[in-house]
Structure 1
């Protein structure tokens, strides 16, 4: 297995026929599908990474069913149509779509900026909004990868990402995704600026990264995305000496049964990484 990519991953090339118009469709017709009626039965598994409460029956439940079925554009539009209550859905659908399926780099960055701006406005009004904090950090982190981590650090984006994720974990210690994202931040900063500068300037440490990865997987062991982030983190921190461990993490991710469309994307990426 070659070292996995460190930038946001896309399963489609810029030449995809859908790239010129609307959001690109999910390329997997066999991905799990949901209705609002059965969504609550699967909710604990689908949101094991964040521990979000399920919506009451109604339009937002319909929107979450669309999201988990891979209808990201429709889910985002429905979320935005419901104002403050729909922002968590809109931000999650937009960020996940941008990360996995948008083939145009300029559009991908624009979508991440939209999510970050919406989340920042939410945080200004509600500083302890865990969903807003997490999606602000996610969007800024992916945006930073798109413009180069070194450039983003120089602009102060790294401090915002780290602060938001640490706040999420303080408010919700069981938030698995925040642990994994913060671990990836530690690993990536060390990879880009070195352990000494990273520790002195940004407060990042290799042992902290590993501990955060382990805690995230303890909280949500069935996350293919977390397994792949851990694999990439090990390679950033330790290089080829941990290739065996990284490969085993990818193998675990590739053999998981995806619970929804986003997990289907992760599992397919893990399988593609092993083939490469």
Structure 2
């Protein structure tokens, strides 16, 4: 693992394992991740919520088992918000997708493994271009994994939003006819998934951001005002940990452009 850029607000979220345990339901409202019994895994999550993403990834890989989920989450957050080099970003997403795929093969009832496989592969696909990813057959894998995550854990808000984004991205790139016939992407399904994701976790900044982007892709420029309102709502949220700080920061940065 190469050197990762540091979270720019280290120290702002001085959580310890006990605090993470107490606030677990709130911290994991978006992924419905069960509270780990393994103290090493809990410590890895503590590092993650504090913004020590490189250390969280290392600790998660060392712990193994449910620690792989922490490692993959940390890698994906770092790649999405902090990694500046595109080649390194793509490598992080691909490595996380491969680890999650192996984890899902070992633990087929692990919703987080399926979610992180679909999410990381989806982000990788965006990086190489959605059209190229679809031509390589990655779209079907993303869709299948996210659908499995939702089937296994219907309260997984982030999986709903990620699958909704898949529908929106595919329709935006290839149109509703080819998107529907070839890739199973449908406008109404995407909109329903966005709404369900936000119903499950209304305080999700990234959920609001993705919904805003998806509305414009699915409904056109007539939804720009609503998309801006959703971005403003995300930007005004109070972050509860390092990862949500990055999500809120993304909304604020987009509004300033």
Provide the C-alpha distance between the structure 2 equivalents of 1:226 and 1:31, rounded to a whole number of angstroms: 23
Instruction: Give the root-mean-square deviation of aligned CA atoms.
Output: 1.2
- Greater helix proportion: 2
Q: Alpha-carbon deviation of 1:42?
A: 1.1
1:118 equivalent in alignment to 2:99: yes
State the match for 1:168 in structure 2. 149
Larger CA deviation: 82-91 vs 252-261:
82-91
Report the CA distance shift for 1:264/1:183 in structure 2 as closer, same or farther (over 3 A).
same
Distance 2:106 2:230 in 1: 40
Provide the C-alpha distance between the structure 1 equivalents of 2:111 and 2:151, rounded to a whole number of angstroms.
Answer: 10
Retained in 1: the 8 A contact 2:7–2:82?
A: yes
Distance 1:102 1:229, change over 3 A: same
Structure 2 Cα separation of the partners of residues 37 and 125 of structure 1: 30
1:148 aligns with 129
CA contact (8 A) 1:231 1:245 kept: yes
Matching residue of 2:161: 180
Q: Distance in 2 between matches of 1:197 and 1:159?
A: 14
Once residues 65 and 125 of structure 1 are traced to their aligned partners in structure 2, the CA distance between those partners, rounded to angstroms, is 25
- 8 Å contact from structure 1 (residues 31, 264) kept in 2: no
Give the gaps of 5 or more residues in structure 1.
Answer: 1-20
In the TM superposition, what is the alpha-carbon distance from 1:247 to its structure 2 partner?
A: 0.4
TM superposition outliers: structure 1 runs of 4+ over 6 Å: none
Q: Secondary structure at the match of 2:66?
A: helix
C-alpha separation between the residues in 1 aligned to 2:114 and 2:74? 16
Residue 203 of structure 1 corresponds to which residue in structure 2? 184
Deviation at residue 57 of structure 1 after TM alignment: 6.3
> Partners of 1:57 and 1:162 in 2: how far apart?
31
Deviations 1:143-196 (A, max 9, x none): 000000000001110000000111111111111001100000000000000011
Contact persistence 1:33–1:260 (CA under 8 A): no
1:32 Cα deviation from its structure 2 partner: 2.4
Q: List runs of 5+ in structure 2 lacking aligned partners.
A: none
Shift in CA distance, 268/204, structure 1 to aligned 2, threshold 3 Å: same
Contact 1:76 1:89 in 2 (8 A): yes
Which whole-Å deviations, capped at 9, do the CAs of 1:4-45 have from their partners, x for residues lacking one?
Answer: xxxxxxxxxxxxxxxxx7200011246423111211111111
User: Scaled by the length of structure 2, what TM-score is found?
Assistant: 0.96
**Deviation at 1:84?**
2.2
